[in-house]
Amino acid sequence: MTLGEVAKRLELKGLVLPDPGRQVRWGFCSDLLSDALAHAGEGDLWLTHQRHLNVVAVAKLTGVAGVVCVRGLAPSPEVLSRARAEGVAFLLSRQDTFELAGRLFRLLQGEA
């Protein structure tokens, strides 16, 4: 499923969406950058509360399909500017991580 489709189905706001046709392989939830570096995979959609510049770097290194900031916690304009420059997708959800992860799981399993 594409990032654009996931965003639409889960009602995510695209803050930076350089490639809405990028395939979302799976989801990943963590607020620890070291955990994301070690375990987030190419094409994962990363759900996190973190929203600082280092998130952009980790997202770029891991090749995630995008970063979703949960609970309506938007990154700063500086972070979004860096994400645009690096081609890293950033999205925003009003939902908490638990609810959004469940919905993403069902969607990617073809249940929702």
Packed helices 53-62 and 77-86: angle between N→C axes, nearest 10 degrees: 20
93: DSSP letter: -
Domain carrying residue 66: 3-108
Per-residue pLDDT tens over the stretch 13-37 = 999 999 999 999 999 999 999 999 9
94: DSSP letter: S
Share of the chain above pLDDT 90, in %: 97
Contact between 27 and 47 (Cβ < 8 Å)? yes
Q: Tell whether the model's pLDDT for residue 112 goes beyond 70.
A: no
The pLDDT score that the predictor gives to residue 66 is: 98
**Cα–Cα separations (whole angstroms), residue 101 to 32, 38, 45, 70, 80:** 16, 19, 10, 10, 23
| Domain tally, the chain | 1
**pTM of this structure:** 0.96
Per-residue pLDDT tens over the stretch 42-100 = 999 999 999 999 999 999 999 999 999 999 999 999 999 999 999 999 999 999 999 99
Q: Closest Cα to residue 101, out of 41, 62, 59, 47?
A: 47
Owner of token pair 């972070």: 79
The pLDDT score that the predictor gives to residue 111 is: 74
